[in-house]
Amino acid sequence: MNAEDTRGLIRKHPKSNTYIIKDNVFFERSVHVRGNLITGKNVSFWEDLIVEGSLDLGNRSTVRGNVKAESAFIGKDAEIGGVLITADDTTLLEGVKLKEVDSGGSIFVKPDAVIERIVADGNVEIKGKASIGFISTKGKVIVRGE
C-alpha cells in the first residue's frame, strides 16, 4: 500500500507511534503497521492485519484474514475470519465473532461472543454467556455471571 493511497484516511500520533484509521474505511490488501493501531467503526481489512504494537479494533470492524499484534482490544460486534495472535493480553467485547484466539497473555471475553477456539498462556475470563468451542490455557478459566 502506498502512502498516496491512504492520504486522509489514516493519521499518525508521532509521540505514541499510534496510527488512527477513520470510520467506514476498507483495505483490499494486507496491512502492516509499525506501531500501535486504533481503528474507527466499520473498518474492513480484506486480508491480513499485522500490528507491531497494540491494536484497538473498532466496533463492527472486520478482518477476513489473520491478525497479529502485541496486545488487542477487539470492539463490539467485530469479526475476524482467521486467527488472532497476541503476545500479551487480549480483550474481546460483546458480540465478537472469531475463529481462533492464541494469546501469550490473558484473554477477557464479554457476553455474546462466538469463538471456535481459545489458546492462552494466562487466564481466560468469561463474563456472561458466550459460545466457545474449545479452551486451552496454562492459567485458570474464570466464568462470571452478567
Q: What is the pLDDT of residue 7?
A: 62
pLDDT for 3 beyond 50: no
Which residue from 82, 121, 122, 111 is spatially nearest to 98, judged by alpha carbons?
A: 82
Helix count and strand count (H, E) for the chain:
1, 19
Residues 109 and 128: beta-carbon distance below 8 Å = no
Q: What is the pLDDT of residue 67?
A: 98
Residue 55's contacts (CB-CB under 8 Å, 6 or more residues apart) are: 36, 37, 49, 67, 69, 70, 71, 72, 73, 74
What are the pLDDT digits (tens) for 4-58?
455 678 898 999 999 999 999 999 999 999 999 999 999 999 999 999 999 999 9
Q: What is the pLDDT of residue 120?
A: 97
Q: What is the pLDDT of residue 9?
A: 83
What are the pLDDT digits (tens) for 106-144?
999 999 999 999 999 999 999 999 999 999 999 999 999
- The stretch 82-109 carries a mean pLDDT of 97
The span from the CA of 30 to the CA of 8, in Å, is 19
- The stretch 94-117 carries a mean pLDDT of 97
Helix (H) or strand (E) holding 37: strand 36-39
CB-CB neighbours of 146 under 10 Å: 7
> In the block, which residue shows the cell 461472543?
113
